[in-house]
């Protein structure tokens, strides 16, 4: 009796120690994730991606209650909606608009972290402990604290290296959160939680995922097929799965119908079609946008208001900071997608190269550690069976990268799906019931987690050591340029022109958004040199053509060439220069379309 009590007491002590280790590992990993996120929020507080400007313009629709403007064939509505909510709550000044976006991104990050923890918990319960009975005499599953180290390391790597953390201000973290929730619910179905609530929640997360990004519309059906088989694949599963489809349809229908009405045919989003035309068919962004002889298939060719050099105007009908990129589907309407097997194979080959660059080179520590632990496990064929049993993670985890590989693959697109694949692979690892082997496995796991954490830390501290260009100077270059424009008499809502592309390396849209002005005309890069070389009379004609369509100022980056026709002045201590255009009466503005046609 005493011996039995002693054994029982020793087991209770070990269990208590294991629980304490799990608790502290979880708390420590969670704190590391949050600290990394805060570092990125602070270091990149004034930086956003070029695409973010379009999302900001969409978020304005929330504040103005113009809900229909949230339906955009190219950009998804959930992220700008969240930005709009944050703006409505805080009401920031122009200076604090970009930092507010990063605060919103931090809140999204916390949601993604919670979603990942939900997934990791389901992985440990469903896959990590799934085969203890059959291996009772030969192997042990990975301890929970090892799962936590590996899992959080995967999250850090995918979030701060693949998605580029928070500083880019894009909706990829939203997508990641819903992917993790979807996968966790699939594992709950696999574990036997086949009640209507689980199917209902799956429909909600799939619907919201589509609102976050268009790729989640086809992926929703992949998840539903996996859910059917994960729940047993029986006829009685059809009714609860119909609830998932019904809830998903109710959430997705307004966006699907709105986009379909806008483009004149059934469509869940035009981003995939346009990406295929640009990346596979070779349609260049600049050809539909500005061309002296636009393709005949374009329904909305851009208005040319001057030739030699070419000047293009695009103020209507899209009201935004930079209309060309706010609704690319409008300006590219009429572009046809053509199947070209040779080009398709080329794109797939490039995607495979990108997969190697994104997944193999940075993750050598994880791959090496996984192979060590896998071959340390007893009975490798059975370990392979354990990996196959994790198919509810592997199928959607592989499906999304395959879809992207057909068109255009970036690491931020596939980051959450790569996490699913790795979790499925790690589910196959077991440790020998030898104390030395267990210690060796623990050391290998710590090495993997440490290498990934250091890798993520390098990316985070890189932003601290080398501040982004937007932070140089008091308030940043773009703030100073915007303030100077206001002092020169350019008011919010005014229309301006630029020499060069609106998405040049200096991102003209950044200062335009700060100044709340609209870039509605451009002298393209190919014509900029001709403009600078032209005589005073030609340059005056160009400015007159811009003035006739109501443009208030023209802005260029870099010191302008000498010209007696145009008076340029520097916008504060920046490299931007502007020239104010004379105002014209309304009748002259109304004559602009006819003047453009005559040219």
Domains and CATH numbers, the chain: 31-260+341-465 (no CATH), 477-598 (3.40.50)
Those residues whose C-beta lies under 8 Å from the C-beta of residue 203, and which sit 6 or more positions away, are 243, 244, 245, 246, 247, 248, 251
Q: What's the first-to-final CA gap in the chain, in angstroms?
A: 103
Q: pTM of the entire structure? A: 0.88
Task: Identify the DSSP state of 294.
Answer: -
Sign for the CA dihedral angle at 34, 35, 39, 45 comes to positive
- C-alpha distances (whole Å) from 118 to each of 148, 152, 247, 419, 424 are 12, 12, 21, 14, 15
- CA atoms within a 13 Å half-sphere pointing along the CA-CB vector of 7: 3
- CA atoms within a 13 Å half-sphere pointing along the CA-CB vector of 386: 30
- C-alpha distances (whole Å) from 198 to each of 127, 188, 210 are 18, 8, 19
pLDDT tens-place values along the chain, 599 residues long:
444 444 444 444 444 445 677 888 888 889 988 988 888 888 778 778 888 899 999 998 878 878 777 889 999 999 999 999 999 999 888 778 888 999 999 999 999 999 999 999 999 988 866 444 444 445 566 778 878 888 888 898 889 888 876 878 899 999 999 999 999 999 999 988 888 999 999 999 999 999 999 999 999 999 999 999 998 877 888 899 999 999 999 999 999 999 999 999 999 999 999 999 888 888 776 656 666 677 778 888 888 998 888 899 998 888 889 998 898 899 888 888 888 899 999 999 999 998 888 777 666 666 766 676 666 666 667 777 778 889 999 999 999 999 999 999 999 999 999 999 999 988 877 766 655 555 655 665 666 566 656 665 665 565 555 544 444 443 478 888 888 999 888 999 899 999 876 556 457 888 899 889 999 999 888 888 888 888 888 888 888 899 899 999 999 887 776 656 678 888 888 888 898 887 654 444 444 444 444 44
Q: Tell me, what's the pLDDT at 15?
A: 47
The CA R_g of the chain, rounded to the nearest whole Å, is: 28
What is d(CA 30, CA 33) in angstroms, rounded to the nearest whole number? 5
Per-residue tokens: 94: 């122009």
**What are the φ and ψ backbone dihedral angles of 213, each rounded to 5 degrees?**
-165, 140
Those residues whose C-beta lies under 8 Å from the C-beta of residue 359, and which sit 6 or more positions away, are 411, 418
Q: Tell me, what's the pLDDT at 289?
A: 66
Cβ atoms of 509 and 537 closer than 8 Å: no
Is 225 buried (19+), middle (13-18) or exposed (0-12) by CB count in 10 A?
middle
Cβ atoms of 228 and 272 closer than 8 Å: no
């Amino acid at each position: 009796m005493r011996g039995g009590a002693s054994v029982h007491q020793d087991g209770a002590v070990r269990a208590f120690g294991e629980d304490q280790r799990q608790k502290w590992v979880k708390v420590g990993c969670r704190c590391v994730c949050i600290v990394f996120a805060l570092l990125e929020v602070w270091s990149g507080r004034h930086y956003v991606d070029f695409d973010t400007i379009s999302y900001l313009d969409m978020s304005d629709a929330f504040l103005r209650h113009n809900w229909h403007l949230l339906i955009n064939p190219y950009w998804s509505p959930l992220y700008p909606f969240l930005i709009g909510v944050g703006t409505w709550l805080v009401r920031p000044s122009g200076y604090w608009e970009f930092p507010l976006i990063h605060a919103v991104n931090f809140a999204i990050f916390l949601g993604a972290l919670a979603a990942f923890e939900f997934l990791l918990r389901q992985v440990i319960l469903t896959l990590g402990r799934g085969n203890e009975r059959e291996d009772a005499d030969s192997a042990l599953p990975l301890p929970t604290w090892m799962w936590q180290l590996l899992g959080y390391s995967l999250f850090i790597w995918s979030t701060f290296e693949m998605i580029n953390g928070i500083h880019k201000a894009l909706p990829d973290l939203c997508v990641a959160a819903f992917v993790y929730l979807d996968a966790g619910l699939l594992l709950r179905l696999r574990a036997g939680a086949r009640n209507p609530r689980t199917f209902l929640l799956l429909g909600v997360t799939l619907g919201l995922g589509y609102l976050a990004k268009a790729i989640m519309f086809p992926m929703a059906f992949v998840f539903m097929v996996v859910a059917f088989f994960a729940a047993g694949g029986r006829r009685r599963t059809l009714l609860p799965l119909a609830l998932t489809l019904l809830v998903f349809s109710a959430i997705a229908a307004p966006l699907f119908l709105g986009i379909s009405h806008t483009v004149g045919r059934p469509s869940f989003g035009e981003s995939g079609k346009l990406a295929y035309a640009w990346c596979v068919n070779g349609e260049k962004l600049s050809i539909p946008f500005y061309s002296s002889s636009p393709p005949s298939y374009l329904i909305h060719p851009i208005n040319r208001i001057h030739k030699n050099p070419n000047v293009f105007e695009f103020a209507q009908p899209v009201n935004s900071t930079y209309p060309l990129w706010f609704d690319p589907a409008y300006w590219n309407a009429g572009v046809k997608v053509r199947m070209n097997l040779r080009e398709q194979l080329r794109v797939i080959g490039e995607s495979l190269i990108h997969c190697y660059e994104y997944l193999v080179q940075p993750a050598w520590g994880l791959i090496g550690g996984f192979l060590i632990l896998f071959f340390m496990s007893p009975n490798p064929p059975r370990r392979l069976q354990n990996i196959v049993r994790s198919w509810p993670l592997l199928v959607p985890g592989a499906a999304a990268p395959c879809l992207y590989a057909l068109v255009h693959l970036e690491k931020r697109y596939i980051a959450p799906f790569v996490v699913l694949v790795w979790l499925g692979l790690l589910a196959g690892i077991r440790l020998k019931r030898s104390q030395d082997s267990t210690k060796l496995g623990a050391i290998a796991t710590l090495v993997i987690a440490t290498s990934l954490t250091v890798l993520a830390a390098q990316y985070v501290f890189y932003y601290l050591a080398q501040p982004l260009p937007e932070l140089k100077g008091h308030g940043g270059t773009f703030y100073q340029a915007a303030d100077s424009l206001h002092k020169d008499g350019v008011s919010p809502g005014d229309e301006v022109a630029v020499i060069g592309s609106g998405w040049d390396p200096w991102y003209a849209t950044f200062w335009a958004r700060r100044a709340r002005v609209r870039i509605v005309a451009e002298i393209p890069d190919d014509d900029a040199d001709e403009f600078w070389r032209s005589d005073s009379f030609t340059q005056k004609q160009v400015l007159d053509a811009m003035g006739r369509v109501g443009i208030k100022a023209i802005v260029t980056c870099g010191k302008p060439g000498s010209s007696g026709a145009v008076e340029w002045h520097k916008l504060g201590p920046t490299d931007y220069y502007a020239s104010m255009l004379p105002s014209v009466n309304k009748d002259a503005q109304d004559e602009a379309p006819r003047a453009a046609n005559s040219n």
